[in-house]
Amino acid sequence: MKHRKAAALIATSLALGLIAAVAAPTLERAGALACYTTLTCNPANIPMIVESGVIAGTGAEAVVGAAATTAPVVATGSAANVWANLAVVGGAFTGIFTIVELAGGIGTAQGGLSSDGLYGQRVRTDESLGAEISFVGGTATLEVGGYGTFTATIGLKAGARQCVVGSWSGGSGTSAYFEQTEGPAYGYSESAFAKDNVYDPCKALYPAGTLLSGFGPTGNYGQPVVGWRIRIGSDYSDPVAGTYGGTVTGTAEVTLRCQSLDDGSVRTVTGGLHQSFEAGSTMTVPDVGCAPGEIAVGADIDWNPDTGDSQQIVHDDGSQVLPQLKEAPDDYPGCFTATGPNCLLILEKLRAGGGYDSCGQIGELCEDWVTDPQRDTNYRCRYGVTVVGLDYCSAYRKPSIGVLPNVAPDGSLLSPDAPVPSIQTPGTVTEPGTEVEPEPDTVDCRPASWLEALNPYWVFRAVQCVVEWAVKPPAGKLEQFRAEVLAKFAGSPPGKIAAALIPLTLIPIASDGCSGVTIDLTWLRRDAFATADFPDSFTILQACPGDTLQPFAIMSTLVIIVGMGFVAFRTWPALIGRIFTYSGVDG
């Protein structure tokens, strides 16, 4: 028995040694705790500029907090496309996005599943990704399979990144935003985001698993500052004002410069919306857009608080407009005029008596068009009235299941400016992202003659054929099963509960903060205290370097470490001994 207790004590000592090893760097970091209240210390935590068409580089990170996603990288088959990604963060969305409404905008268009097919849109639907929309100027309303409705107005800049905060009906804990991802290195206004305590979702690069629990303009007490602030888990303290919260009231004004595609003239469209923000709420951008036949070549967004200085949130002089967007009217005549046809990407099949019939919005009426040996002559592809190469319709190479505009035939994601992927030679088509089926057995299941049937091989061969026929699932059956079950689950009460619980598992655990605890006092502002002069909140137990309480915090840390060691030394030997003896520690 004694050697068991000795072993238990040794194990306990080793564990305490490990704790000491952890504790030492913890204490060393005490002098750098301020890193977590600014954006300049720990490189791993610094929001970074998104350089490519994804938020964070890989699929798992691209749609933060979501389950079963692939990277929302976009590519375009047309030089005129301007893309926007919809990313839902903080929640799981495996259901299919349904485009409810898209209004306004200029750009090429590509319909997606359940799209209403208005011009100025390009939609991709995928059961694991969501939707991508391409249009410049307009309002998009999307129903996100079973989770809620997202509405946002975008189109203030063309050909540049743009972060637009919309409204989301899916409840708190789930946020959504558009990010326009195509274009040259994008510019943004620093003025509204210069404060290092303000996180800008348009700049941010978030590590996988980051929970974006909500973002929107936030008023800081005593400072009429409005900027998009993202609360990343727990790290949202304000080192300048020392508070977080409050309400600001003012007017969001948009000035949009629209250039006519007919004569190049530029006119200005303005809009304003007076509103108030609670901390963490979402600002509504006035719904201002260019008319059909125009292109947005610049925009300003200003926040004019009722008290305090104005803030310029976005200023774009038009330098970010894609050249190909300007050239689009020549490249695709008829697509960009006020009275022109909808510029959809259309796949058509040659009619027997002459002329062409549409293959449907996502090619669903021409299931075999990719593998048709006479594909080049039986089908044609066009943008609006402009006939383009059949490769442009490679987006429809998975007819009726999904539109795949930004995925190469081998399943790899394409960069935003990549040319359209070529469709493969008929007969050798590989569906993107799917496993390659093994080559079919060229040996028939039946012998060629009765004489050959005498060979016992054909007995086994026949059994093999029957088993293969019976057991092998049809192609696509598993995918269909998965999609249908997930969609059904997402719309059911258990699915809704699961969607609400998943964000709980994604909350990052940060333990090195020194900003203390902020006590909200806004609830006191009522009745006789409605106009009382006291702050909306106050912070206690701040112990960052330079704070009065920092030495006491270090002492507290030491005391707790010693206490934890004592607890471990007292309890672990007994518990370990109980495991070895099965019946508790004797003596």
Q: How far is the CB of 489 from other proteins (least distance, A)?
A: 6
d(CA 248, CA 279) in angstroms, rounded, equals 8
Q: Which is nearer to other proteins, 52 or 434 (CB)?
A: 434
Identity of the residue, 532 or 541, whose beta carbon is nearer to other proteins in the bound complex:
541
Q: For residues 49 and 519, which CB has a smaller minimum distance to other proteins in the complex? A: 519
C-alpha 93/C-alpha 171 separation (Å) is 14
Q: How far is the CB of 564 from other proteins (least distance, A)?
A: 4
- Our CB check for other proteins shows the closer of 22 and 385 to be 22
Contact assessment for residue 331 and residue 389, using Cβ atoms and an 8 Å cutoff: no
Cβ nearer to other proteins, comparing 327 with 468:
468
Q: Which residues of 260-293 are buried (b: 16+ CB within 10 A; e: fewer)?
A: ebeeeeeeebeeeeebebebbbbbbbbebbbebb
Cβ at position 77, least distance to other proteins in Å: 35
585: Cβ–Cβ under 8 A, 6 or more apart, which residues?
5, 573, 574, 577, 578
Nearer to other proteins (CB atom), residue 364 or residue 520: 520
Structure tokens given for 168: 């989301």
Q: How far is the CB of 65 from other proteins (least distance, A)?
A: 10
Relative to beta strand 97-103, strand 212-217 is unpaired
Half-sphere exposure of 467 (CA within 13 A, CB side): 6
Query: Beta partners for 277?
Result: 248
- The minimum distance between CB 266 and other proteins, in angstroms, equals 44
Give the nearest distance from C-beta 9 to other proteins in angstroms.
Answer: 14
Q: Which residues of 109-131 are buried (b: 16+ CB within 10 A; e: fewer)?
A: bbbbbbbebbbbbbbbbbbbbbb
Residue 261 backbone class (left: φ over 0; alpha: ψ -120 to 50; beta: rest): alpha
The SS3 call for residue 484 is helix
Comparison of 115 and 174: residue with beta carbon closer to other proteins: 174
d(CA 43, CA 30): 17
Closer residue to other proteins, CB minimum distance, 82 or 544: 544
Minimum distance, C-beta of residue 565 to other proteins, in the bound complex (Å):
8
23/240 with CB nearer other proteins: 23
Token pair for 300: 């300003």
Nearer to other proteins, 310 or 557 (CB): 557
By C-beta, is 83 or 277 nearer to other proteins? 277
Contact present, 116 and 110 (Cβ < 8 Å): no
Q: Would you say 16 or 79 has its CB closer to other proteins?
A: 16
Q: How far is the CB of 21 from other proteins (least distance, A)?
A: 11
Query: Measuring CA to CA, how many Å separate 206 from each of 54, 60, 153, 168, 434?
Result: 11, 11, 24, 21, 29
CA distance 482 to 83: 29
Residues whose CB is less than 8 angstroms from the CB of residue 273 and which lie 6 or more positions away in sequence, other chains included: 251, 252, 284, 285, 286
- Residue 97 main-chain phi, psi, to 5 deg: -75, 135
Contacts of 362 (CB under 8 A, 6+ apart): 111, 112, 113, 396, 399, 400, 402, 403
Report the nearest approach of other proteins to the CB of residue 215 (Å): 12
Cβ 16 to other proteins shortest distance, Å: 9
Tell me the closest approach of the beta carbon of residue 12 to other proteins, in angstroms: 10
* One-character DSSP codes across 196-218: TT---TTT----TT--EEEEEE-
Residue 322: count other Cβ atoms within 10 Å of its Cβ. Answer: 21
Closest to other proteins by CB, 443 or 485: 485
Report the run of H or E that residue 380 belongs to, with start and end.
Answer: strand 379-383
Rounded to a whole number of angstroms, the minimum distance from the CB of residue 518 to other proteins is: 7
> In Å, what is the CA distance from 197 to each residue of 144, 232, 364, 377?
32, 12, 50, 60
Grouping H, G, I as helix, E, B as strand and the rest as coil, residue 523 is helix
CB of 401 to other proteins, least distance (A): 17
